[in-house]
Amino acid sequence: MSSTSAITASDADRELKAKHRSMWASGDYPTLAADLIWSLGPRLVAAAGVHDGDRVLDIAAGSGNAAIPAAERGAAVVASDLAPELFAVGRRNATEAGVSLEWREADAEDLPFEDAAFDAAISCVGIMFAPHHETAASELLRVVRPGGRIGLLSWTPEGFIGRMFGVMKPFAPPLPEGATPAPRWGDEAHVRALLGDEVDDVVAVRETVAITRFASGAEFRDYFKSHYGPTIAVYRRIADDADAVRALDDALAALGDEQLAGDASRTLEWEYLLVTATRR
C-alpha cells in the first residue's frame, strides 16, 4: 500500500467536486448544524470511543459538530472538508469551546494523509455525501491504523431526511455515472459491504434525533430552502419553472406536516444509522 492516495481525478470528477463544494458553501449549513443536529457530534464521538491522546480525523467535518467534541475529549483532531468555507464558523466554535483543531481542505475520496495515520476516523452526516461510496470507504479505511476505530453517522433512506431526498429527487439532476445516493450510507447492509473484511466488531444501531424547531411543514421547508445546500441547489435548478417550484414547495411542506400531525409535541424524529467498527 502506498504512503498516500494515488487517485487521479478526471475532468468530469473535478467538475462534480466543484459543484459539491459550491453546494455546501451555499446557504448556511453551520447554523443548521448548530440549530438542529449539534447533539449528534457528541453522540458519535462517544460511540467511537474517542479519548485523550487519540489522533482523530473527522471526514466531511463541516463546521465541526463532531470534531470539536472529539477535541474536548483531549484528542488531536484534524477536521477535513471539501468546502473550507465552512471552517470560519468552526474555528470560532472551537475557540469558544477552548480547544484547538487542525482544519484541512480535503476530498473524502482522495484524502491527503498517510496510510494508518489516525487512531480513529469519524464522520457525522458527512462522508455519506461523497458521490462514490466505494472510493470514500477505501480512503477512510486506508488512513486508520490497524486496531483503530471507525465511527459513522448517516441519515437512513427510510427516515425523515432520507425521505426528503426522495421528495427532491424528481426535481434534481440525475446522479453522475458511478455515483450512489447519499442515504445508502444509512443502510446497514450497504455500509457492511463497503467496509467488508477490513474491519471487525461492527455495531450498527438506528436512533433518532428529535427536532422541535418547526411548527409546520412550511416552516421546515422554508428553513431548508434558505439554509441547506442540497435543497438550495434543487430549487436553483428549477427556478425558471414556476409549476415545478410550486410542486416541490407543496411536497416538502406535506412531508413535514405528515410527521408533525401525528405528534402533539410538534416534533420531527429524524432517523440515522450509527455504525462503529475496529480496523482489522
- The share of the chain scoring above pLDDT 90, in percent, equals 92
Q: Are 268 and 259 in contact (CB under 8 A)?
A: yes
128-139 per-position pLDDT tens digit? 999 999 999 999
47-72 per-position pLDDT tens digit? 999 999 999 999 999 999 999 999 99
Q: Are 119 and 149 in contact (CB under 8 A)?
A: yes
pLDDT score, position 10: 77
Please name which of 91, 88, 50, 57 lies closest in space to residue 72, comparing C-alpha atoms.
Answer: 50
The structure's pTM equals: 0.95
Query: 189 is written with which cell numbers?
Result: 447492509
Q: How many CA atoms lie within 13 A of 13 on its CB side?
A: 14
Where residue 7 falls among pLDDT bands split at 50, 70, 90?
A: very low
> Does 2 score more than 60 pLDDT?
no
CATH class of 11-157+175-208+271-279: alpha beta
In angstroms, the CA 161 to CA 184 distance is 12
Provide DSSP, 206-272. Answer: EEEEEE---SSHHHHHHHHHHH-HHHHHHHHHTTT-HHHHHHHHHHHHHHHHHHHTT-TT--EEEEE
Query: 182 is written with which cell numbers?
Result: 447519499
Task: Of 6-15, 80-89, 100-109, 255-264, give the lowest mean pLDDT range.
Answer: 6-15
In angstroms, the CA 198 to CA 280 distance is 5
